[in-house]
Amino acid sequence: MDEHEEISYKTLRRLQQGEQTSSVLTKINVNFYQDLFSYVKTIEQSVENEKNPLKLKLFTDEAQNTKKIANSIYELREKKIVQAALATARGAAPDLKNLLDIEKKLYSALVEQIAVSRKEIFEEPTDRHSKKQPASPPVVDQLKRDPNTNPIVRVLEDTPEFIGTDEKTYSLRKEDVLSLPSEMTEPLLKKGVVKQVK
């Protein structure tokens, strides 16, 4: 596409075909994306302002087709940029002379991200694992943080099954040693069913 050539449906089709047939990025106007945006906006305004049904249909079709071609051109170039970034990361020197400034940002970001990912995967696998999955604190530390304040009791006789104040079902057997909530322990102590150990 010539540096001074105005964007039209015809020039976009030619550019699309050029990108499809070339293995490297084709030369396009440095302001291509800005000009393309303006061109699409102009067509959309024509659609909004047109009263004639036949012309409206023509403008609508043109707007849809232009957007499809524009998207196709970008995706073709995007694919080549990704391939160039991969090639660079693998030590090659791809042809970058037709990269636009806005496309260089994508290329640089991809090269950087590939390098970071490779380093994480191949050079620091153990460090990464330990950072992502911190070791669990020792059980002793957990007990210090969450001490059991409930009384510990020894069961003196078997009892029928009952529901405690914590809404759990209990079935106490003689010689069981367990921890019960304080509000449950007191009545059992009074009845002589349990004896407090701690």
Residue 127 in this model has a pLDDT that exceeds 60: no
Q: Cβ distance 193 to 155 under 8 Å?
A: yes
* pLDDT of res. 68: 94
Residue extents of the structural domains in the chain: 9-129, 142-196
- In tens, the pLDDT along 62-76 reads 999 999 999 999 999
Question: Is the entire prediction scored with pTM above 0.75?
Answer: no
Q: Cβ distance 192 to 156 under 8 Å?
A: yes
* pLDDT of res. 192: 86
- From the candidate CATH numbers 3.30.70.2190, 1.20.58.1030, 1.10.3720.10, 3.30.70.20, the one assigned to the domain spanning 9-129: 1.20.58.1030
Residue 9 in this model has a pLDDT that exceeds 80: yes
Domain 142-196 sits in CATH 3.40.5.50? yes
Written as six digits, the tokens of 170 are 């209990």
- In tens, the pLDDT along 75-124 reads 999 999 999 999 999 889 899 999 999 999 999 999 999 999 988 888 76
Q: How far is CA 134 from CA 126, 137, 139, 145, 187, in A?
A: 12, 9, 15, 18, 44
pLDDT, the chain, mean: 83
* pLDDT of res. 4: 56
Q: Give the residue-averaged pLDDT of 122-134.
A: 58
Matching fold, domains 9-129 and 142-196: no
Amino acid at the residue 52 = N
